[in-house]
Structure 1
Amino acid sequence: MAPVPASHPQVAVTLVLLLSMLGLAAGGKVLVVPVDGSHWLSMREVLDSLKEKGHEVVVVAPEVSLYIKPSKSFVMKTYPIPFTQEELDRDFHEFTQDTLKEGSFLERFVRIYQRFEKNSALLLSTCEHLLYNKELMRYLEESKFDAVFTDPVIPCGPIVAEHLSVPSVYFLRGIPCGLDFEATQCPNPPSYVPRIFTEHTDHMSFLQRVKNLVFDVPNLFLCNFFFQPFSKLASEFLQRDMTVLDLLRKASVWLLRLDFVLDYPRPPVMPNMVLIGGISCTQEKPLSKEFEAIVNASGEHGIVVFSLGSMVSDIPMKKAREIADALGSVPQTVLWRYTGKVPSNLPQNVKLVKWLPQNDLLAHPKTRAFITHGGSHGVYEGICNAVPMVLMPLFGDQMDNAKRVESRGAGLTLNILEMTSEDMSNALKTVINDKKQLSGR
């Protein structure tokens, strides 16, 4: 599997070109309106590159957040919101726990829908408190920014850009319901472009193509449910009729975290769309003494890296014990990012850690496999370092990412709710020992 080159320079160059109107010697002034969670973790690395290029970066974020913290790479401006850090942490912990709860399809659907509805209201409220913070908005107006850098999946940044009348640069993987296709006037034929959440590949049967077409109907309902409140907010704040689609159409540059090494063929992209998939594939750094010692002690069998991403650090005990059984069936040392209660059957070859340098470990020659939830950040790191994957997707686009990896012969997918210890053990042994069977899928 050919490694994907790191793309931080490509992203930085694109933004530099946008800001070049300022003169050859002047750096630009960039306002960043981020989306919290894993979206922020991908964006943060780009901000470091912008700072290195001499640009002034200002990040606006709520006082309470999951991962958005101050940094030497940018000036951070915060605004109050009507909930505490404890409430936010609890809500997102409950969301991940709901995802991992067993039950009938209807029970799980209702739980996730209710949680989605609550989180949507939280995101809308956060945006309202930014837009109607008069002191902060006055500061933004007086600062004369040259561009707004934002993730439009939560369309608060586009509203800010429209209010300030400055160019907007979008940084994203995709938008539900194909709004990114519609906003850029890119064709989106259901005959060969798989819809999000369908888990289809680009080799669909006739019935799958029909399902792909029909799936557009509930997709539109979902979009209306989620984005209509933001359209209303934008219209009220900007004092003119404005939809989310109208806002998206005003983007100057689309930086899409896509690459055809993973993603399926799609209609031609527009001139202002740049594919930057794999930007998380940074040059690896030397491991700390702690991790280097663990890796070296693994001997000829090497290590397995196991992380379910930034949003999930513990899982229900029953499932944790099943996973522990499976991990004990392989001779590799397993580094498991996990902060929950330790399973009573934890085998000796498993090391629990609260944090791990994921990309640096994946780049190590002793790494034999990567167990992941299928987030795009981790998936690209696995691909860049040519490490086979066992994928256990939880929510969002992770199911589609997992299907892409599997269709490329780079990993195997398991249903974390239905899998047994034996299922996980067999999948892990296959990706480590049977590359021929893996690539033949």
Structure 2
Amino acid sequence: ARLVVLLSLLGLAAGGKLLVVPVDGSHWLSLREVLDSLQQRGHEVVVLAPEVSLHIKPSKNFVMKMYPVPYTQEEMEKEFQAFLQISFEEGSFLSRFLKVYEGMKRITALGVSSCKQLLKNQELIRYLEENQFDALLTDPVVPCGLILAEHLSLPSVYFLRGVPCGLDFEAAQCPSPPSYVPRGFTQHTDHMTFFQRVRNLLYDFPNVFLCDFAFEPFAELASEFLHRDVTVLDLLRQGSVWLLRVEFVLDYPRPLMPNIIPIGGVHCAHKKLTQ
């Protein structure tokens, strides 16, 4: 409910016009309900999506603008299934890190390829430039929407669970002390011994490595499209509002900036409880 109220402020006297650049998979499933609610409140929603996707489908509640991509449905599904499988595998830190590295490398290649096709689509870019959007809603885990927001000079609203390597913390200038904010792959909680805190700090180094290879292709794409040198961190910092899909009942406490709003539970199914 809080999320819908926040996004409904896009247009106070009349419905606003929202451009949406979603991320496929489970990211889309939670966003779709939000878009349905916004349409019911009189807002015009335009969704950009590749012709090949897992879950992003046309709906009467929004206008969908699609663009071609150079991979097939089978290729995409194969890569996503492989990445999901390795994400839940157990093992040593090095083993898990290398598997995630390879999986992210392939998934990133798909995302970069899709984004490149979108930005090269002159007809679609011209349509976006000619329409007067009020804001752009995107999940920054794939920063293609960030590039478009910068190009169109639109305020951006982020709808996210998190960004790899803690880049969201850095972009939003959130404190992220290793003394009680667990790093990825550590399996630590927010209650750590001294040596666990030291280990937690050391785990930041491979995270930086993961970020470099995962986001550098998008930085190159953004620099080429925007005609100036830019990093993904530069683009992330432009976010006006961060809608964070976390719930502190289930997650670890951590400092948040005023424009970061926890909306945990928005992705849960709405079912009536039995007596």
- State the TM-score bracket (shorter-chain normalisation): over 0.9
Q: Which amino acid aligns with 2:7?
A: L
**Counterpart position of 2:223:** 235
Match of 1:219 among 207, 214, 229: 207
Name the SS for the 1:161 alignment partner: helix
* Alpha-carbon distance in 1 for matches of 2:92, 2:184: 22
Match of 2:166 among 175, 178, 182: 178
After the TM superposition, which residues 137-216 of structure 1 pair with which residues of structure 2 at under 5 Å, given as runs?
137-216=125-204
Name the TM-score, length of structure 2 as normaliser: 0.93
Distance 1:270 1:102, change over 3 A: closer
Q: Which amino acid aligns with 1:196?
A: G
Distance 1:175 1:109, change over 3 A: closer
CA deviations on 1:267-310 (whole Å, 9 max, x unpaired) are: 2x22211110111245315xxxxxxxxxxxxxxxxxxxxxxxxx
Structure 1: 5+ residue stretches without partners: 1-8, 286-362, 366-441
**Counterpart position of 1:14:** 6
**Counterpart position of 1:289:** none
Name the TM-score, length of structure 1 as normaliser: 0.59
Structure 2: 5+ residue stretches without partners: none
Are residues 1:273 and 2:273 paired?
no
* Alpha-carbon distance in 1 for matches of 2:15, 2:230: 32
Are residues 1:82 and 2:70 paired?
yes
* Alpha-carbon distance in 1 for matches of 2:46, 2:25: 19
Quote how far apart the aligned CAs of 1:103 are: 8.8
Quote how far apart the aligned CAs of 1:94 are: 3.7
* Alpha-carbon distance in 2 for matches of 1:181, 1:114: 24
Quote how far apart the aligned CAs of 1:10 are: 0.6
* Alpha-carbon distance in 2 for matches of 1:214, 1:108: 16
* Alpha-carbon distance in 1 for matches of 2:236, 2:133: 19
Quote how far apart the aligned CAs of 1:105 are: 7.6
Distance 1:92 1:184, change over 3 A: closer
Distance 1:175 1:93, change over 3 A: closer
Quote how far apart the aligned CAs of 1:119 are: 1.7
Quote how far apart the aligned CAs of 1:131 are: 0.9
Does the 8 Å contact 2:29/2:267 carry over to 1?
no
| Structure having the higher Rg | 1
Are residues 1:57 and 2:32 paired?
no
Quote how far apart the aligned CAs of 1:104 are: 8.4
Q: Which amino acid aligns with 2:194?
A: F
Quote how far apart the aligned CAs of 1:261 are: 1.2
* Alpha-carbon distance in 1 for matches of 2:163, 2:149: 18
* Alpha-carbon distance in 2 for matches of 1:187, 1:102: 30
Name the SS for the 2:136 alignment partner: strand
Quote how far apart the aligned CAs of 1:72 are: 1.6
Name the SS for the 1:252 alignment partner: strand
**Counterpart position of 2:249:** 261
Quote how far apart the aligned CAs of 1:182 are: 1.1
Name the SS for the 1:255 alignment partner: strand
Query: How many residue pairs end up in the alignment?
Result: 275
CA deviations on 1:285-337 (whole Å, 9 max, x unpaired) are: 5xxxxxxxxxxxxxxxxxxxxxxxxxxxxxxxxxxxxxxxxxxxxxxxxxxxx
Answer 1 or 2: higher relative contact order, Cα 8 Å, separation at least 6. 2
Distance 1:222 1:101, change over 3 A: closer
CA deviations on 1:360-382 (whole Å, 9 max, x unpaired) are: xxx456xxxxxxxxxxxxxxxxx
Q: Which amino acid aligns with 1:137?
A: I
Quote how far apart the aligned CAs of 1:116 are: 2.5
* Alpha-carbon distance in 2 for matches of 1:75, 1:68: 12
Quote how far apart the aligned CAs of 1:93 are: 3.1
Q: Which amino acid aligns with 1:40?
A: W
* Alpha-carbon distance in 1 for matches of 2:246, 2:98: 31
* Alpha-carbon distance in 2 for matches of 1:178, 1:98: 21
